[in-house]
């Protein structure tokens, strides 16, 4: 079980999030949990799973000697350490006020490793993450208040390819064609997106165990890892309970090759009769706040629950 610190944001911190589009948390997990999650990440990329499942949307075969970004979506389906973190009611309670939500569900997670290029490699851009808005990839979902928790598993800054945000960019609304996660040229994307708006490129400098939380419309990306060590993180995407499928949303222009646009792999999880208004709910989209005492048994995992709720859960 991954133990998580309880954090409640002050009014000033909530105001900071609404003004700037992101904030940095205190340390959420300790050294033991960090070590366990690092091992879990490495196991996932070696196709060593705790559950008799295939990965959510594809089988990821990575050349472990390459600099390509390694990413598994819904690692919580496959690994029990990741599962106990992603289903944490403490994290759900923490993000609820940021989304102004009475209930919180998991949209999906990502377990990511950005290999270290070192000073000699010339292909260091292979693991860049292009400037993008998360919601540009999630337009099938009805809520624009979704958020992302980015948990660092080592000290993280620009040297090892830490995340960068464009401060206040969430207040611009959805930017056309901002589903550009997989593009590598950050300078070219800045030219595309900056326009006449202020472009305040701010690094998220984190200690191991800290997290940043950003609004789903906050523009963000990351550059190369120029150290010799991998930069690992677990990313949890959250949505307000009650978020629903919007139906087939027409894209603003032609769908470009290799781009999801307004499509998402979560939609088939709703089944063959999904239509506009179908809620993203059920086993694939667990509600992590308010705490459901049946959650540990249903998902076969021990959870670190808030102290005032521990007596309601025989496994917590």
Residue 278 within a domain:
no
> Which one, of 220, 218, 225, lies nearest residue 157 by Cα?
225
3-state helix, strand, coil in the chain (%, to 5): 25, 20, 55
Residue 31 has pLDDT above 50, yes or no: yes
Could you report the per-residue pLDDT of 132-143, keeping only the tens digit for each?
A: 999 999 999 999
The confidence score (pLDDT) of residue 253 equals: 58
> For 268-281, what is the mean pLDDT?
95
- CATH number of domain containing 127: 2.60.120.620
Residue 315 within a domain:
no
Q: DSSP letter string over 186-220?
A: HHHHHHHH-TTS---EEE--B-TT-EEEEETT--E
Cβ 82 vs Cβ 55: under 8 Å: no
Report the b/e string of 2-27 with b at 16+ CB within 10 A. bebeebebeeebeeebeebbbbbbeb
Could you report the per-residue pLDDT of 160-193, keeping only the tens digit for each?
A: 999 999 999 999 999 888 888 778 888 888 888 8
> Which one, of 54, 55, 57, 52, lies nearest residue 266 by Cα?
57
The model's confidence at residue 157, banded by pLDDT at 50, 70 and 90, is very high
The confidence score (pLDDT) of residue 238 equals: 98
Cα 104 off chain centre by: 14
Count of structural domains, the chain: 1
Residue positions counted in the chain: 316
Residue 312 has pLDDT above 50, yes or no: no
User: Rounded distance, CA 295 to CA 303, Å?
Assistant: 9
Residue 4 within a domain:
no
Residue 152 within a domain:
yes
DSSP class of 238 = E
Q: Which region among 32-36, 98-102, 146-150, 198-202 has the lowest average model confidence (pLDDT)? A: 198-202
The model's confidence at residue 68, banded by pLDDT at 50, 70 and 90, is confident
User: Rounded distance, CA 26 to CA 135, Å?
Assistant: 26
Residue 259 within a domain:
yes
> What is the end-to-end Cα distance of the chain in Å, rounded?
9
Residue 249 within a domain:
yes
The model's confidence at residue 122, banded by pLDDT at 50, 70 and 90, is low
pTM exceeds cut of 0.95: no
Residue 31 within a domain:
yes
The model's confidence at residue 250, banded by pLDDT at 50, 70 and 90, is low
User: Rounded distance, CA 89 to CA 6, Å?
Assistant: 10
Residue 10 within a domain:
no
- Quickly tell me which residue has 């973190």 as its tokens: 85
Mean of pLDDT over the chain = 89
Residue 222 pairs with which residues in a beta bridge?
Answer: 129, 163
Q: Tell me the residue range of the domain where 233 lies.
A: 23-263
The confidence score (pLDDT) of residue 306 equals: 84
């Amino acid at each position: 079980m991954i133990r998580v610190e309880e954090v409640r944001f002050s009014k000033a911190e909530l105001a900071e999030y609404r003004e700037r589009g992101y904030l940095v948390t205190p340390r959420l997990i300790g050294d033991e949990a960090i070590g366990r999650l690092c091992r879990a990440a490495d196991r996932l990329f070696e196709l060593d799973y705790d559950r008799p499942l295939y990965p959510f949307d594809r089988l990821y075969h990575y050349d472990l000697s390459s600099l390509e970004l390694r990413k598994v979506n819904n690692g919580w389906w496959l690994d029990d350490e990741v599962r106990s973190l992603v289903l944490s009611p403490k994290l759900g309670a923490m993000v609820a006020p940021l989304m102004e939500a009475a209930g919180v569900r998991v949209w999906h997670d990502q377990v990511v490793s950005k290999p270290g290029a070192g000073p000699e490699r010339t292909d260091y851009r292979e693991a860049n993450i292009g400037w993008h808005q998360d919601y540009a990839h999630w337009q099938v979902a009805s809520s624009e208040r979704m958020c992302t928790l980015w948990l660092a598993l080592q000290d993280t800054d620009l040297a090892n390819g830490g995340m960068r945000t464009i401060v206040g960019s969430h207040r611009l609304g959805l930017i056309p064609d901002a589903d550009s996660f997989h593009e590598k040229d950050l300078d070219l994307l800045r030219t595309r997106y900056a326009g006449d708006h202020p472009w305040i490129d701010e690094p998220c400098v984190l200690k191991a165990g800290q997290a940043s939380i950003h609004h789903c419309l906050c523009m963000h990306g990351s550059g190369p890892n120029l150290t010799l060590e991998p930069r690992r993180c677990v990313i949890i995407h959250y949505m307000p309970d009650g978020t629903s499928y919007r139906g087939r949303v027409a894209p603003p222009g032609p769908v470009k090759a290799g781009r999801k646009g307004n499509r998402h792999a979560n939609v088939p999880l709703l089944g063959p009769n999904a239509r506009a208004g179908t809620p993203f709910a059920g086993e694939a989209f667990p509600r992590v706040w308010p705490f459901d005492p049946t959650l540990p048994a249903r998902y076969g995992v021990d959870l670190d629950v808030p102290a005032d709720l521990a007596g309601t859960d025989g496994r917590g």
